[in-house]
Amino acid sequence: MKRTGVFVCHCGINIAGTVDVKKAAKELSKHKGVVHSEDYVYMCSDPGQNLILDAIKEKKLDNVVIACCSPTLHETTFRNASKSAGLNEFQCEIANIREQCSWVHKDMDKATEKAIKITKSAVEKVRRNESLEPISIPVTRRALVIGGGIAGIQSALDLANTGYEVILVERSPSIGGHMIQLSETFPTLDCSQCILTPKMVEVSKHSNIKLMTSSEIQEISGYVGNFKAKILKKPTYVDADKCTLCDECTKVCPVVVSNEFDLGLTGRRAIYIPFPQAIPATYTLDISACPGLLPIACGKCADVCEPGAIDFDMKPEIIEEEVGAIIVASGFDLYEKEMMGEYGYGKYPDVLDGLQFERLLSASGPTMGKVLRPSDHKEPKEVVFIQCAGSRDPELHCPYCSKICCMYTAKHAMLYKHHVHDGQAYIFYIDIRSGGKGYEEFVQRAVEEDGVLYLRGKVSKIFEEKGKIKVWGVDTLAGKDIEIDADMVVLATAMRPSEGAEELAKKLKIALDKDGFLSEAHPKLRPVESVTSGMFLAGAAQAPKDIPEAVAQASGAAAKAIAILSQERLFHAPTVAKVNVNLCTGCGMCVDVCPYDSLSLKDGKVEVNEVLCEGCGTCSATCLRAAIQIRNLTPLQVSEMIKVSLGG
Amino acid sequence: MAEEFEPKIVAFLCKWCSSAGSDLAGVSRMEYPPNVVPITVMCSGSVSPLYIFSAFKRGADGVLVSGCHPGDCHYIKGNFYARRRIALVKKLLDYIGLEPQRFQMSWVSAAEGKKYTQIIKDFVQELKPLGPQTKLRSNS
Ligand SMILES: Cc1cc2nc3c(=O)[nH]c(=O)nc-3n(C[C@H](O)[C@H](O)[C@H](O)COP(=O)(O)OP(=O)(O)OC[C@H]3O[C@@H](n4cnc5c(N)ncnc54)[C@H](O)[C@@H]3O)c2cc1C
Ligand code: SF4
Ligand code: SF4
Ligand code: FES
């Protein structure tokens, strides 16, 4: 008969305060097969672990049960201790008598009785555990990065510079994300394009980076270390290798549509380059705007293209790639215009959002860096900025704080003053949140040096009258009503997960939080990991954040991915499904329910792919004959656990 | 006065949500009656009908199966299978004549320590007036 040792921890008074640990140890020593049972004040301490080690050796124990805190805390500690005494790690089980017992009960007799049952249940389990070694799987040592904003760019460069191949997938025609649209960046007022474009060029030149723009993820399968990605590469109808950027095509293209790069403040042709520094440096034909690819419909661009770069026959391609780790950096979008009707957004041309204002400030923007009203191209002398437009409003809009708007609004007001010296900037705010290095000083600078007027309160009404935008609100600090005849209004609209984030998350099988941002595995301790192993998160896709934070998280995610790619093999829990071929009739019921497609029928019997199997046990509950079971949690084990849990 | 009847309950908790939720109840020092002995399983989808019958046969007065919220299962869809399977078991138990209150399924996430506490309290309260379960208990 197997020799079992039981160790009951007091956890100071955390357990001993409600569970009579001496009595428990004594009762357990009478249980069948238990040859050693003792209690100790802190089992996890060094002397505590030594007690276990010594007992395993002296009493020749085959397995041990530690009755202590939740296995999420010290299972690894005690399994390692058991290993160092020569036991297989699965010969050690934890009985949770703290979180699930001593901490939730007051009656000592009853809590003790329950603790004994819980521990006996673990004893019955461990006595039937198989000794198993982790399953080893090879690693595909390349990575996939989804999204080519600053976060995706940073992750890709970190990985590539460490020596790993990276596939960077961006759905728009150029990388750069939102950062490339910004003018200058808080708190240092660096020119955004000037600091970003060198990185973009590095991506395009890097021998380890395969850049795929105008591309989207179609399907992801596989598991950590061995993912398979199907990527849809959409046709751009322009051969990037032949295009010389001569710009002849746009001169003849008859179609004008709204230019997304300038957020509708300018127009562009159906054939266009997103912005002069676009990477890859090439033109793109926007098929949704082009009247048709047939020369009959138009074809003017192809006629003038000297190098013959325009190819109307280009077809969508599906490209398959194998990678070991995935980083998702799909970024953000601003809160939909339609939602901001209360502020006249979308109704009055001089009510703008923050990104549009960035374009007005940008030296490469539609006004070459002059702040002019879209309606009449006059310089606005009174500008009202409204913070929290759509944020922190659980009733009507987004409940969360978009985090960066306080800072970029201070920046906007400051830069506006740098352009229009005799102008006045007003900011309506609820609170100023300026946590960050140099951030509070930045806001102070806006007030002190640039005379920005901060008004604490909400705007109640915005309407147009005689060429002015009337802004009515209250200053809650002064307790006064305020009326401003503004020339321009800028809304700091909420940051939202980027369009299509939900669909992407479904394809990747990763979770979203209540606001639709990608969910991290643990809000404090695993902030760059997703719940799916081998998939990591970076940038504003996970939560609203500014550039330094996006970059830090991107490097963190790259480091996590490198931790996988740097290994030749990965190890996988061996508690997977196993088949008793004598019982299996080959009915295939388990094959249909397995969430990981790990089962297949071969010669009338089911077979387990141990690398794919996650050990969920759905198959075992489905099999009518108990022919498929999970190692170390078999129906026999559970049945014995039930028995002792009921006092049998 | 005779001692009040204390129902014996076995709870199958999935490791990723409900077991973690019951841990949180502990960490938050919530209090609930000690009638339940928890058995942690990998997923609610791994709870075979045999486990439920076996618990009743061995004298459980009530059985609880608790997993992640629909859509949140760590194994993607294990709890959908659990839900279907458990509906069938419920029908079967009904047919046999077991009081329907004796067998329950719940969704408790890792953040819902309070919900777990409430479920256990309510379950014990509901079972008390029913007295011991004898329908399926084997006499051995
Ligand atoms: C008005 C405004 C002003 C700002 N000013 C500053 C500032 O001064 N200083 C500062 O630090 N921060 C500032 N920020 C914040 C800054 O823009 C963000 O922190 C930064 O852009 C986040 O980078 P990202 O890569 O996470 O996301 P994004 O920049 O949104 O990039 C995401 C990329 O992923 C692509 N993508 C999305 N979905 C998919 C998909 N399914 N498949 C493939 N590709 C996809 C997108 O096309 C995009 O290229 C400002 C933001 C705004 C709105
Ligand atoms: S359900 Fe059971 S009997 Fe049917 S194929 Fe799977 S293991 Fe074999
Ligand atoms: S345990 Fe889960 S993952 Fe493994 S074969 Fe069974 S159903 Fe599939
Ligand atoms: S893991 Fe919790 S129900 Fe499947």
Q: Which two tokens stand for residue A243?
A: 């295009």
Residue A437, burial from CB neighbour count under 10 angstroms (0-12, 13-18, 19+): exposed
Cα separation, A199 vs A216, whole angstroms: 22
Mapped onto helix, strand or coil, the DSSP state of residue A379 is coil
Q: Tell me which residue in B29, B37, B75 faces A614 most closely, judged by beta carbons.
A: B75
B113 in contact with chain A, both atoms CB, cutoff 8 A: no
In the structure, what pLDDT confidence band is assigned to residue A524 with cuts at 50, 70 and 90?
confident
Is residue A640, in this structure, part of any structural domain at all?
A: no
Task: Indicate which CATH number applies to the domain containing A64.
Answer: 3.40.50
- Could you tell me the two tokens for A227? 């993912």
Q: What is the mean pLDDT of chain A?
A: 95
What's the gap in Å between B73 CA and the centre of ligand 4?
4
A395 with A472, same domain?
A: yes
Mutation to test the B interface, candidates A68, A101, A104, most B Cβ within 10 Å: A104
DSSP letters, A83-126, are HHTT--GGGEEEEE-IIIIITT---HHHHHHHHHHHHHHHHHHH
Between chain A and chain B, the number of residue pairs with CB atoms below 8 A apart is: 132
Atom 13 of ligand 1, residue of closest alpha carbon: A546
Distance CA B38, CA B32 (A): 13
Q: Are residues A226 and A120 in the same domain?
A: no
Give mean pLDDT, residues B28-43.
97
Q: What is the arithmetic mean of pLDDT over A50-71?
A: 98
Query: A423 and A544: one domain?
Result: no
Same domain, A478 and A607: no
**pLDDT band for position A525 (cuts 50, 70, 90):** confident
Ramachandran area for residue A3 (φ above 0: left; ψ -120 to 50: alpha; else beta): beta
Determine the Cα–Cα distance for residues A523 and A403; give it in Å rounded to an integer. 17
| A435 lies in the same domain as A352 | yes
Distance from CA of A316 to the nearest CA of B (A): 31
In a domain, A642, yes or no: no
SS3 A35: strand
Ligand 3 pocket: which of A509, A596, A601, A605 to mutate (most atoms <8 Å of CB)?
A596
Domain of residue A266, residue span:
248-304
A474 shares its domain with A341: yes
Record the pTM. Answer: 0.78
Location of structure tokens 């076996």: B54
Report the DSSP pairing between strands A142-146 and A190-191. unpaired
> Do A338 and A485 belong together in one domain?
yes
Q: What percent of chain A has pLDDT over 70?
A: 100
Instruction: Please tell me the CATH superfamily of domain B9-130, with its number.
Output: Lumazine/riboflavin synthase (3.40.50.960)
**A32: buried, middle or exposed (CB in 10 Å: 19+, 13-18, 0-12)?**
exposed
Asked whether residue A311 is domain-assigned, the answer is no
In a domain, A645, yes or no: no
- B16 CB near ligand 4 (under 6 Å): yes
Return all residues near B78 (Cβ < 8 A) that are at least 6 apart: A595, A616, A617, A618, B14, B43, B44, B45, B46, B67
A195-220 confidence digits (pLDDT tens): 999 999 999 999 999 999 999 999 99
**Cβ contact A82:A100 at 8 Å:** no
**pLDDT tens readout for residues A480-489:** 999 999 999 9
Of how many residues is chain B composed? Answer: 140
Task: Quick: pLDDT tens for A88-124.
Answer: 999 999 999 999 999 999 999 999 999 999 999 999 9
In a domain? residue A432 = yes
Q: Report chain B residues whose CB lies below 8 A from the CB of A99.
A: 22-27
| CATH number for position A470 | 3.50.50.60
In chain A, the number of structural domains is 5
Contact residues, chain B, for A110 at CB < 8 Å: 34
Final residue in a domain of this structure, among A534, A565, A596: A565
CB contact at 8 A, A426 and A453: yes
Closest by CA position to A416, among listed A490, A472, A482: A490
pLDDT tens, position by position, A272-312:
999 999 999 999 999 999 987 776 789 999 999 999 999 99
Q: Are strands A92-96 and A63-68 parallel, antiparallel or unpaired?
A: parallel
Residue A641 lies in a domain: no
End of a domain among A528, A543, A565?
A: A565
A421's enclosing H/E stretch is: none
Query: Residue A511 and residue B72: Cβ atoms within 8 Å?
Result: yes
Q: Which amino acid is at A618?
A: T
Mean pLDDT of B30-59: 96
Q: Residue A269: what pLDDT?
A: 97
B71 touches chain A (CB under 8 A): no
Residues A273 and A177 in one domain: no
A637, part of any domain: no
Complex confidence, ipTM: 0.97
Say how far apart CA B76 and CA A616 lie, in whole Å.
10
B92 touches chain A (CB under 8 A): no
Do residue A56 and residue A124 come from a single domain? yes
Q: Are A371 and A419 in contact (CB under 8 A)?
A: yes
Which of A466, A496, A526 terminates a domain? The answer is: A496
pLDDT band with cut points at 50, 70 and 90 for residue A532:
confident
Does the pLDDT of residue A180 top 60, yes or no?
yes
As to burial, measured by CB atoms within 10 angstroms (0-12 exposed, 13-18 middle, 19+ buried), residue A13 is: exposed
Considering the domain boundaries, does residue A241 fall inside one?
Answer: no
For residue A76, the distance in angstroms to the closest alpha carbon of chain B comes to 16
Residues 6+ apart with CB under 8 A from A566: A141
Are A525 and A593 found together in one domain? no
Convert the pLDDT of each residue in B66-75 to its tens digit: 999 987 888 8
Question: In this model, does residue B64 exceed pLDDT 60?
Answer: yes
> Exposed e or buried b for every residue in A291-327, given b needs 16+ CB within 10 A?
eebeeeebbebbeebeeebbbbebeeeeeebebbbbb
Asked whether residue A161 falls in the same domain as residue A229, the answer is yes
Report H helices in A163-243: 192-205
Residue with tokens 């830069």: A415
User: For B88-140, what is each residue's pLDDT tens digit?
Assistant: 999 999 999 999 999 999 999 998 999 999 999 999 999 999 999 999 998 65
Asked if A346 and A482 sit in the same domain, the reply is yes
